[in-house]
Chains A and B, each alone.
Chain A
Amino acid sequence: MWTAAVALLLTLTPGWRPGLVVFRTALLTAAPFWVFLRLLHDVPTTIAIGLRITTMVASFVWLAATLAPDRLVEATVARGWSVTAAYLFAATITAVPTLRDRARRIVEAQRCRGLSPRGSLGNRLRALRALALPLVLSALHDVDERALALETRGMVSGARRTPLAPPPDSAVERAARWALLAACVAALIWRFK
């Protein structure tokens, strides 16, 4: 219960108004799990698993709200980690909204051309193919452009890069990280002793 409470309180750290939005998002994301847990389990099991899921949900919602992909890339480069891993994570995060927009445009364009996404299962599957195929093919055509852009920026594996604006890493933050790691190890030992 305490870990769930701490995780939910953390969602308020971005400030009063933005923090409330993150807090509300965490609660709204976790709420359906409680409903489905109650549907499938008794009350003690619902509370035990529900608190675990709420902790996970609140932690990740907080992370998603506070983590800027470009800052993550700079931080990993500054620490000497593989720039490839940082690129994969950040490039996917930025590519998803672009492809979602393109998917919506394809859906609208196909509807204008008379595509009906309703009716029998066969009809719907044919409609799905007509919507998904242009999206996937156009995305694959982007690969060459992206590869060219990476090549011109000297993105080769094993190359050391210099971060332009590395995020500051204060002594307090370093101490907090070590303290949290120690707390995790202590919690694991306490859990399995």
Chain B
Amino acid sequence: MSIRLLALIPVAAAISLALSAAVDAVALPLFLDTTGTILATTLAGPGVGIATGVVTSAVNTLRNPTFWPFVVVQIIVALYAWAAARAGLFRSFRTAVPAGLGLGVIASLTSTPISYLVFGCTTTGGIALTTALGKALGLPPLGACFFGSFLSDFGDKAVTFALVTSVLHALPRRTAARFPWALRAIGAA
């Protein structure tokens, strides 16, 4: 791994953890905690993306210990983002947003069993409340847990994909060309 890609990993992981300040300012129910993983994957491929996801989870665990079991979700996000980058789905919002919605479904399917078995669906306040709403609607416990995860992940991943698309298109071509995957992800190579 080149030194530039090694330097990218902590920066991308820190982006995921620092974006909460921007989310708080606009008061939207989003996490954006996979932004760095998706960005690192689209810039530098799946190895760097997976490393970013693992480092993000490890550092986030020191703030909130419930994050560590979800490291597998970060790995799946990186692999999905790699497939999306290979297909050039970051070339416009019209292709990126549906791809993000697809990731939302996959992420919630992956996170539901972990959330249900380890934490009883109480990983964050928002998910616990939407799970309670699912129970009130008559869903079985696992179904209510998926309902809660789905509501939080579905929009979050679509916004994350749209944001990464914005970043990739805003990067100067010379800067983008220094990363092996950036131009291919936006369909320019």
User: Would you give the 0/1 interface string for B170-189, flagging 1 where the beta carbon is closer than 8 Å to chain A?
Assistant: 11000100100000000000
Determine whether the beta carbon of A147 is less than 8 Å from that of B11.
no
Determine how close the nearest CB of chain A comes to the CB of B134; give it in whole angstroms: 10
Determine whether the beta carbon of B121 is less than 8 Å from that of A40.
yes
List residues of chain A with CB within 8 A of the CB of B62: 60, 63-64, 67, 93
Determine whether the beta carbon of B14 is less than 8 Å from that of A92.
yes
A-B contact count (CB 8 A): 176
By secondary structure, the A interface counts as helix
CA of A87 to CA of B9, assembled, Å: 10
List the one stretch of B21-29, B74-82, B84-92, B104-112 in contact with chain A. B21-29
Q: Is A179 an interface residue (CB 8 A)?
A: no
List the one stretch of A51-59, A161-169, A170-178, A183-191 in contact with chain B. A51-59
User: Would you give the 0/1 interface string for A32-70, flagging 1 where the beta carbon is closer than 8 Å to chain B?
Assistant: 110011011100011001001100110111011001000
CA of A151 to CA of B62, assembled, Å: 29
Determine whether the beta carbon of A128 is less than 8 Å from that of B159.
yes
Determine whether the beta carbon of A139 is less than 8 Å from that of B21.
no
Determine whether the beta carbon of B166 is less than 8 Å from that of A139.
no
Of B6, B56, B120, which one neighbours A37 at CB under 8 angstroms? Answer: B120
List residues of chain B with CB within 8 A of the CB of A137: 167, 170-171
Determine whether the beta carbon of A117 is less than 8 Å from that of B25.
yes
Determine how close the nearest CB of chain A comes to the CB of B44; give it in whole angstroms: 10
Of A49, A59, A84, A129, which one neighbours B6 at CB under 8 angstroms? Answer: A84
Determine whether the beta carbon of B122 is less than 8 Å from that of A127.
no
Q: Is A3 an interface residue (CB 8 A)?
A: no
Determine how close the nearest CB of chain B comes to the CB of A156; give it in whole angstroms: 8
User: Would you give the 0/1 interface string for A98-117, flagging 1 where the beta carbon is closer than 8 Å to chain B?
Assistant: 11101110110000000001
25 A-B pairs, CB-CB below 8 angstroms? A33-B122, A36-B122, A36-B129, A40-B135, A45-B120, A46-B120, A59-B65, A61-B65, A88-B10, A91-B10, A92-B17, A98-B14, A103-B22, A124-B26, A128-B163, A129-B163, A129-B166, A133-B163, A135-B19, A140-B175, A143-B11, A144-B4, A144-B178, A147-B3, A155-B6
| Additional A-B contacts beyond A53-B66, A133-B163, A156-B3 (12; CB < 8 A) | A37-B120, A92-B10, A107-B25, A121-B28, A125-B159, A128-B163, A132-B35, A132-B163, A136-B39, A139-B18, A140-B171, A150-B7
